[in-house]
Amino acid sequence: MRQTNLFSKTRKDAPKDEVAKNAQLLIRAGYIQKELAGVYSFLPLGLKVLNNIVSIIREEMLALGANEVSLTALQDKSIWEKTDRWSDKSMDVWFKSELKNGTEIGLAATHEEPLTRIMKDHVRSYRDLPRSVFQFQTKFRNETRAKSGIMRGREFLMKDLYSFSADEKSHQEFYDRVAESYKRIFEKVGLGSKTFMTRASGGSFAKFSHEFQTITDAGEDAIYTHADAPFAINEEIFNEPEAFEGLTLEKKDFEAQNAIEVGNIFSLGTRFSEALGLTFLDSQGKPQPAVMGSYGIGPGRVMGTIVELLSDEKGIVWPESVAPFKIHLIEIAGSPDTHEKTVALYNMLTALKIETLYDDRDMRPGEKFADADLIGIPFRVVMSDKTIAGGGVEVKKRNEESAVIISEKELLAKFPSSNPVSNSADTDHSFNS
RNA sequence: CGGGGUGUAGUGUAACGGUAACAUGCUUGACUUGGGAUCAAGUGACUCCGGGUUCGAAUCCCGGCGCCCCGACCA
């Protein structure tokens, strides 16, 4: 994409109403825009990052064998009454409204109830199980206090996965597979080294649940970690002896850390299947309630966590896997020949499907560099009279200090393309100048 | 939901109760082109909303709304 075709602008100052680092940088760099407290729009760059995170998660969900769906935001009160989750006393984050005829409806904060009802129509026999279903859907939660930029909003995208199994054993097998899947996801998005599977309270559904907590000062939670423990322990259960069940380690050797919950996995038992009547016939022909689990990840929160964790004083530093572009191609004004060569390189990169943001703006170099650092694309490629005289382009990684001049051929070799350029004439589909 | 703070050009900040200023951005021109340059001329605000006090309110008072922080809460 040519930067002159990108509507979002960067700014030097962070808005005064944002304190959280993730919001300050994402707004300054033009990734997001605040609409209300805890409500953010995603601008072109932000949407690209969000979509990259979504793609990584989707790939793993599909690998689990889960089916993707899209359920509604508008909710039928009657099914929530069956599970006793309609009342504001039992679930205080509801946004409620009503139809013109007075019928009450809610905006979904989660989707156990509607999905369980859907599954009733499709699961009849133990032969229909296990099943797993996921979606990326906007959740609405009337938080008493939104905070920390995009980390805790009132409206946010969530990947929610639900599982339906015939028995506890089958459920546990799936649950464990999801845990492994989550580890891979957080590894892929660049949070792996700081993210811990964490034993946490099981809520009203099970003894324990597991959260995936990323160590960061911006975290809202406190967890206890130990180098030899297979999982961390959430502060909320740290004083309960059962929290150490199965561990031979001593409580005093655990260390407290601030962390942000980027994902969670819950065993739900038969609470929802019983309340809503999701039963199947077992091999003896007897009706049994399905055993359920739910598993969430907030892509927006993941995005904010990456910014919190990986940015520096100059701006954001995206991991390649989620970055909005692979290359930030910067042209420094010079001879007409330099301009032509830069356009040609941009067209080549585009044809090779190497995502490139081409800074073709008429600006001084300093400003372009400052913007590039703020936006945080992994590879900065500069083309100027100087680099051409030196034999090619200058390449600098966002997270490294040193820059080197290499030939264009060497540059392209760094980015193996899945779509090798053909000899046909259709490779140049960008606008020429 | 308790407590604290705050609201002024697009953005960031100023202004004793005396009639809104500076920076930045943006526009035009000049000069520049490897780290947010320089110069010149422009542009841009019913000071969040509604009341009140006062000769006079951005400033003081009351109410509302928004936003931020701490705590509680967080299926």
Q: What is the pLDDT of residue A431?
A: 37
- Residue A205 is predicted with a pLDDT of 65
pLDDT in the model for residue A123: 97
Protein residue nearest nucleotide B37, by CA to C1': A364
3-state SS assignment for residue A17: coil
Q: What are the CA-CA distances from residue A348 to residues A30, A280, A338, A366, A402 (Å)?
A: 27, 57, 15, 26, 25
HSE value, Cβ hemisphere, 13 Å, CA-based, for A123:
30
Considering all nucleic acid strands, name the nucleotide whose C1' atom is nearest to the C-alpha of residue A365.
Answer: B34
**Res A206: pLDDT:** 73
Structure tokens at A115: 């999905």
Q: Please say whether the beta carbons of A153 and A145 come within 8 A.
A: no
- From the alpha carbon of A393, which nucleotide's C1' atom is closest? B34
pLDDT at residue number A426: 40
Task: Supply φ then ψ for residue A289, to 5 degrees.
Answer: -80, 145
CA of A375 to C1' of B39 (A): 31
**How far, in Å, is the CA of A332 from the C1' of nucleotide B33?**
7
Among A59, A119, A95, residue whose Cα is nearest residue A279: A119
Separation of CA A16 and C1' B15 in angstroms?
20
A11: left (phi over 0), alpha (psi -120 to 50) or beta: beta
Q: Which tokens is A370 given?
A: 């400052």
Record the tokens describing residue A183, joined without a space.
């580890």
**Joined tokens for residue A17:** 């109403």
User: CA–C1' span, A11 to B25, in Å?
Assistant: 9
Is the CB of residue A258 less than 8 Å from the CB of residue A219?
yes
Q: Which two tokens stand for residue A68?
A: 């993707």
How distant is C1' of B62 from CA of A11, in Å? 39
CA-based nearest residue to A191, from A261, A91, A292: A261
Both tokens assigned to A274: 């019983």
CA distance A358 to A345: 10
Task: Map A45-103 to HEC letters.
Answer: HHHHHHHHHHHHHHHHHHHCCCEECCCCCEEEHHHHHHCCCCCCCCCCCCEEEECCCCC
Q: Determine the 3-state secondary structure of A213 from DSSP.
A: strand
Minimum-distance nucleotide, CA of A16 to C1': B12
> Which residue type does A304 have?
G
CA-to-C1' distance for A28 and B18, Å?
Answer: 39
Q: Are A88 and A68 in contact (CB under 8 A)?
A: no
Output the pLDDT for position A416: 80
The answer, yes or no, to whether ipTM is higher than 0.90 is yes
Q: How far is CA A359 from the centre of its chain?
A: 27
| Token pair 């070799």 in the structure block, residue | A413
pTM: 0.95
Q: Say how far apart CA A317 and CA A154 lie, in whole Å.
A: 26
Residue A335: its H or E element: none
Residue ranges of chain A with per-residue pLDDT less than 70: 203-205, 417-433
Q: Measured between alpha carbons, how far is A258 from A223 in angstroms, rounded to an integer?
A: 6
Nearest-angstrom CA–CA distance, A195 and A213: 5
Residue type, A144: T
Q: What is the pLDDT of residue A424?
A: 40
Relative to beta strand A155-165, strand A131-140 is: antiparallel
With residues binned 3-state (H G I as helix, E B as strand, rest as coil), the percentages for chain A, rounded to 5, are 35, 30, 40
> In strand B, which positions have an atom below 7 A from any protein CB?
1-2, 8, 10-13, 24, 32-37, 66-75
Q: What is the per-residue pLDDT for A432? A: 35
Helices (H), A212-360: 271-276, 299-310, 336-351
- What is the number of H-type helices and E-type strands within chain A? 11, 21
- For tokens 């990323």, the residue is A214
Residue A118's pLDDT is what?
Answer: 98
Give pLDDT, residue A425: 40
Q: Which of A224, A219, A134, A118 is nearest to A178 (CA)?
A: A134
CB atoms near residue A8 (< 10 Å): 15
Smallest Cα–C1' distance to nucleotide B13: which residue has it?
A16
CA of A190: how far to CAs of A43, A281, A407, in Å? 22, 44, 29
The confidence score (pLDDT) of residue A202 equals 82
Cα–Cα distance measured from residue A94 to residue A104, given in angstroms and rounded to the nearest whole number: 12
